[in-house]
Chain A
Amino acid sequence: MEALRMETENLTVYYGKHAGVRGVSLPVYDRTITALIGPSGCGKTTFLRALNRMHDLNPVVRVEGRVRLDDEDIYAPGVDPVVIRRKVGMVFQRPTPFPTMSIFENVVAGLRLVGVRDRDRLREVAERSLRQAALWDEVKDRLNEPAVGLSGGQQQRISIARALAVEPEVLLMDEPTSALDPISTQAIEDLLVDLKEQVTIVIVTHNMQQAARVSDRTAFFLDGEMIEFGPTEQLFTNPTDPRTEAYITGRFG
């Protein structure tokens, strides 16, 4: 049995008075990929953003319940969200290279934040992260060029390399391939499977095939609630809830 890395307990997220996520309890196991699926507006992204306190940036959002990372409640008073976000990284839907920075500076941006100045160390981390993101061979000769000159798929892998460079324990991915072409999508899916050797991944995806291909466990969300959670194969072949079955067989959503 794998060890528990993160866990939510009765997590509810309010946008003003509306609860976008209601009472979700989900375990996230170490070095596995957990996929969150469900139709648009079901709360899967909202749930994901609660896992590294991204909602703190929006004053109208309120989070209730518990989120534990290695047995520490990340919403406990006195916990610094900045520290949590260093441990729980995030990759967004659209590639977000910093346009004024080179490829190299983009990748080491997180290390600069913690004050790493040593040129050799930065270089070493940049190479390691870019290799992890399967991008090293494509960019190693132009590390000092602007990152915005890369293709969409490459930019997204820059975002992944950047998130990996700070060595997070958990990586949250919010539909990381929805803005990409099939070939880039394929590259990133292959990458995810390799990455889970080192990092725990929670991925929101619109694409059920993607969830089926890459994840170990899948959670199905509908209208802000988690309807079903289980091993991916079981959830896709033998769902227990009729709503899950309706969704995965394409009857709605």
Chain B
Amino acid sequence: MKARLYGKLGDALFTALLVALALGVLGVAGLLAWELWVGGAPAFRAFGFWGFTLSSEWNAVSERFGAWPFLIGTVVTSAAALILAFFPSLAAAIVVAEYAPRRLGEVVAYLIDLLAALPSVVYGLWGIFVLVPLVRDHVEQPLFLWSAEHAPALMGLLGPPTGIGMFSAVLVLALMILPYASSLARDAIRLVPREQREAMYALGATRWEVVRRVVLPYARGGIFAGVVLALARAIGETMAVTMLIGNSGQLPYSVFGPAATMASVIANEFTEAEGELHLASLLAVGFLLLLLSLAVNLIADFILRRMSVGEGRK
């Protein structure tokens, strides 16, 4: 009787503790959003919410601020990085989970996961000292010179071939988000039931046909979840992008040219934001970044519910 009472009490305590912790997390997130909103409010008041969001002027001297170039910078770099990273990450997942011998597969999987463990600043350094000179000398300059000779109209689109700019930032970003997409895709592929594969093999399918017609469709929910996680990482990635993108407050008008993302402009300017409106504008950019991430996650969740197969289906 006593033990039973104790058990019930413990249950109630444990439940209360869990609820408190869960609410605490929610509270912190809410507080964060609130602080960003309050901090950014002067900017929204000065230019209007849409005026601030859609204006492409960012000038600390004349104190005119608009987030549009950074919003576009974030969307373009993230989307481009995702497009670049998607197929390699999926291919790596398929090779590791389906084709490679077990041991080799595990080593490769480990190495891919290790990419996610590298600090962002290390990617940035590697980008500056290795990738940027490489890209400048072997991709951007040859392309630029070629277009100067054969298609001058292209030069504006290509932009200054300095190595620092959107092109390099996207390359590094793609490499950084690849492990996220790949590791979720790999797990999803491994979770495809053996019966499903065997049923297709028994119809006279080759290994590739089994992958294409059974494994990938079955795993599509997990693959998509990996894409979302990778995209979320790309949207929020700060350090490496700041080091490589060239930080220009202009709308990104060219492939090689400098640009900035929402995260990079905050990192780059908050120490030197003298005017109150400048600081408020940076906080307002932070608030917009939060909204963007939230929107991406909500949309992704909605799609994911429709795509999931098997256990995740509800």
Contact = CB atoms under 8 A, between A and B. Distances in A.
B217 A100 contact: yes
Interface string A92-104: 1010101111000
Interface of B: 195-206, 209, 213-214, 217-218, 220, 309-310, 313
A113 B217 contact: no
Nearest to A101: B217
A54 B198 contact: yes
Interface in A57-94: 57, 82-83, 85-86, 89-90, 92, 94
Interface in A80-135: 82-83, 85-86, 89-90, 92, 94, 96, 98-101, 109-110, 112-114
Contacts of B213: 98, 109, 112-113
Contact of B206 (A82, A90, A94): A82
Contacts of B310: 99
Nearest to A98: B214
A110 B196 CA distance: 14
Given A96-B195, A96-B196, A113-B209, A162 B220 contact: no
A166 interface: yes
A112 B196 CA distance: 17
B199 A113 contact: no
A162 B203 contact: yes
17 contacts: A54-B202, A83-B204, A85-B203, A90-B202, A92-B198, A96-B195, A96-B199, A98-B217, A99-B310, A100-B218, A101-B217, A109-B203, A112-B213, A113-B213, A159-B199, A162-B203, A163-B202
The 10 closest A-B pairs by CB, nearest first: A86-B204, A110-B203, A90-B202, A100-B217, A96-B199, A85-B204, A99-B309, A96-B195, A82-B204, A113-B205
A32 interface: no
Consensus secondary structure, chain B interface:
helix
B203 A166 contact: yes
A181 B202 CA distance: 25
B203 A54 contact: no
Contact of B203 (A83, A89, A100): A89
A108 to B, nearest CB: 10
A92 B195 CA distance: 8
Q: How large is the interface on A (under 10, 10 to 19, 20 to 34, 35 or more residues)?
A: 20 to 34
Contact of B201 (A57, A83, A166): A57
B105 to A, nearest CB: 13
A52 interface: yes
A100 B309 contact: yes
Given A89-B203, A109-B200, 17 more contacts: A54-B202, A85-B202, A89-B202, A92-B195, A92-B198, A94-B195, A96-B195, A98-B214, A98-B218, A99-B218, A100-B218, A110-B203, A113-B204, A113-B209, A113-B213, A162-B199, A163-B203
B204 A166 contact: yes
A100 B195 contact: no
A162 B203 CA distance: 8
Given A98-B217, A112-B213, A82 B205 contact: yes
